[in-house]
């Protein structure tokens, strides 16, 4: 059957070699993938159209894939599927400084779009920690957030319009090029975060923003407890400081980073808060945030005096996941709670770790209540042991009890499906499946993921 697809696409587009194919079947999770029939390395919308028409004719599941940096298992291949890689679709089709928009293909690396925008005094705001290797298509598929989302929002807030190939190969254009538009239903917003289950995005019109005129000011504050750090976050947000970045790291994460890079971690430091302002008066704003940290128990606050120092402080946060991967296999989660309840959620995570005897390293996009508890277990185990799942169950149920959500930016994929019904409810689940049936009546697009 795969031969007919090979015959329809230009030479070299389809990979069937098992050793090469295995690298396209995985994402960044510990999940063991199935055995796909092959992988299509699309370089154009036409390649995607051809692949999906063939898949519909032959009832073959299709697993869309970007850079493979996902943390929820959404890009993990299944037996008998076709992996559809968009990583070679890397064109920035248009960048309009006058309209502050760009039209990009899904394989564009997030950091590359930001660099292109900054040559015109603009920036692309979403910046997940994997921004140097993740793709715009993957960011759209999971509605990724990142360090700057406290001020600029998640990917959906920057997505104006999409070009989407549906399961049967038809091409749908959604949205607009304007900052406003309320014609019809918000199909753009529906596709963003759908994890490849409704269609395959082949281009996106995204919003750019004015880049800061001067380098941002940054601080790092050390606390003797996570609750004090959480209280400082609440005080900073209540004071209207509008940070462009507000990241919280617990001691377990700091220890992992210290073991990898020797950051000089003090014995008394239980948490670190890293904040930034890109306002025109950023130095004054950071000075105010420093005061609020000190008023809420910070033992020490360092403020950057140069762009190099800023990069060094932010670099501590960006290396967090890499440092944790050195400790063992990782079940990475991303619950989100109302910002005022951040300290309560942090304490719930600590209780779950102690109760079940597991290692949990937590970082948080603290300014918007999005926590990333990472459950660490031994390498070589095919999946997390029962005590990891038990601790994760407590974390998720507590997040929902606090009025939160199972995922703030990583998506559901495969790893969170066991808890999905607790949030969506019976009627919500029914409606989700109804929407899926409209766009993908045969159920061939990333089946078993997200819903």
The boundaries of every CATH 3.30.465.10 domain in the chain are: 92-210
pTM, to two decimals:
0.93
3-state secondary structure of 281: coil
pLDDT digits (tens, 9 = 90+) for 159-213: 999 999 999 999 999 999 999 999 999 999 999 999 999 999 999 999 999 999 8
Give the pLDDT score at 36: 97
Residues lower than pLDDT 70 in the chain: none
Query: Distance between CA atoms of 275 and 366, rounded to whole angstroms?
Result: 10
pLDDT for position 351: 94
Q: Which residues contact 33 (CB under 8 A, 6 or more apart)?
A: 22, 25, 26, 76, 77, 78
Q: Would you list the DSSP string of 382-422?
A: SS--HHHHHHHHHHHHHHHHTT-BSBSSS--TTTTHHHHHH
pLDDT at 381: 86
The CATH number of the structural domain formed by 214-322 is 3.30.70.2190
User: Would you state the pLDDT for residue 129?
Assistant: 85
Q: What is the pLDDT of residue 299?
A: 95
CATH topology for the 92-210 domain: 3.30.465
Q: Are strands 38-41 and 82-85 parallel, antiparallel or unpaired?
A: parallel
Domain with CATH 3.30.70.2740 in the chain: 328-410
Q: Which fold has domain 328-410?
A: Alpha-Beta Plaits (3.30.70)
Biggest CA pair distance of the chain: 68
Sheet with 200-207, edge to edge strand ranges: 92-96, 101-104, 200-207, 159-165, 171-175
CATH architecture of 2-85: 2-Layer Sandwich (3.30)
User: From CA 243, how far away is CA 320, in angstroms rounded?
Assistant: 21
Nearest C-alpha neighbor of 72 from the set 409, 371, 350:
409
In this prediction, residue 53 carries a pLDDT of: 98
Chain centroid offset of residue 432 CA: 21
Rg (CA), the chain: 22
Instruction: Give, for 328, the enclosing helix (H) or strand (E).
Output: none
**Where in the chain is CATH 3.30.43.10?**
2-85
């Amino acid at each position: 059957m795969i031969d007919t697809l090979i015959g329809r696409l230009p030479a070299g587009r389809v990979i069937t070699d098992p050793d090469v194919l295995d690298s396209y079947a995985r994402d960044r999770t510990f999940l063991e993938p199935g055995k796909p029939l092959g992988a299509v390395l699309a370089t154009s919308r036409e390649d995607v159209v051809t692949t999906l028409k063939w898949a519909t004719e032959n009832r073959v599941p299709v697993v869309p894939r970007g850079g493979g940096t996902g943390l929820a298992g959404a890009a993990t291949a299944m037996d008998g599927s076709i992996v559809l890689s968009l990583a070679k679709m890397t064109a920035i089709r248009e960048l309009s400084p006058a309209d502050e928009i760009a039209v990009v293909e899904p394989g564009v690396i997030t950091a590359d779009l930001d660099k292109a925008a900054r040559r015109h005094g603009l920036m692309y705001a979403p910046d997940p920690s994997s921004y140097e290797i993740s793709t715009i298509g993957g960011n759209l598929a999971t509605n990724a957030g990142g360090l700057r989302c406290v001020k600029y929002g998640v990917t959906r807030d920057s997505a104006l319009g999409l070009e989407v190939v549906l399961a049967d190969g038809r091409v749908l254009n959604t949205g607009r090029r304007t900052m406003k538009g309320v014609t019809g239903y918000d199909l753009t917003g529906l596709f963003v975060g759908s994890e490849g289950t409704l269609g395959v995005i082949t281009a996106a019109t995204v919003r750019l923003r004015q880049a800061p005129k001067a380098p941002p000011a940054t601080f790092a504050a050390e606390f003797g407890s996570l609750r004090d750090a959480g209280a400082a976050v609440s005080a900073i947000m209540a004071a209207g400081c509008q940070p462009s970045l507000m990241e919280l790291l617990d001691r377990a994460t700091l220890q992992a980073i210290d073991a990898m890079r020797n950051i000089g971690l003090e014995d008394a430091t239980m948490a670190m808060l890293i904040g930034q302002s890109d306002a025109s008066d950023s130095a004054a704003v950071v000075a105010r945030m420093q005061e609020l940290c000190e008023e809420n128990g910070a033992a020490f606050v360092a403020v950057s005096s140069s762009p190099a120092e800023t990069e060094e402080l932010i670099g501590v946060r960006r290396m967090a996941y890499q440092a944790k991967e050195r400790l063992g296999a990782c079940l990475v989660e991303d619950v989100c709670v109302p910002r005022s309840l951040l300290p309560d959620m942090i304490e719930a995570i600590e209780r779950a770790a102690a109760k079940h005897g597991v290692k949990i390293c937590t970082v948080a996009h603290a300014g918007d209540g999005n926590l990333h508890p990472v459950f660490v277990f031994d390498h070589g185990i095919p999946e997390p042991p029962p005590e990891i799942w038990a601790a994760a169950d407590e974390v998720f149920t507590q997040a929902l009890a606090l009025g939160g959500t199972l995922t703030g930016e990583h998506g559901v994929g495969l790893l969170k499906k066991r808890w999905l019904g607790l949030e969506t409810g019976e009627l919500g689940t029914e409606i989700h499946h109804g929407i899926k049936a409209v766009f993908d009546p045969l159920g061939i697009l990333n089946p078993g993921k997200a819903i």
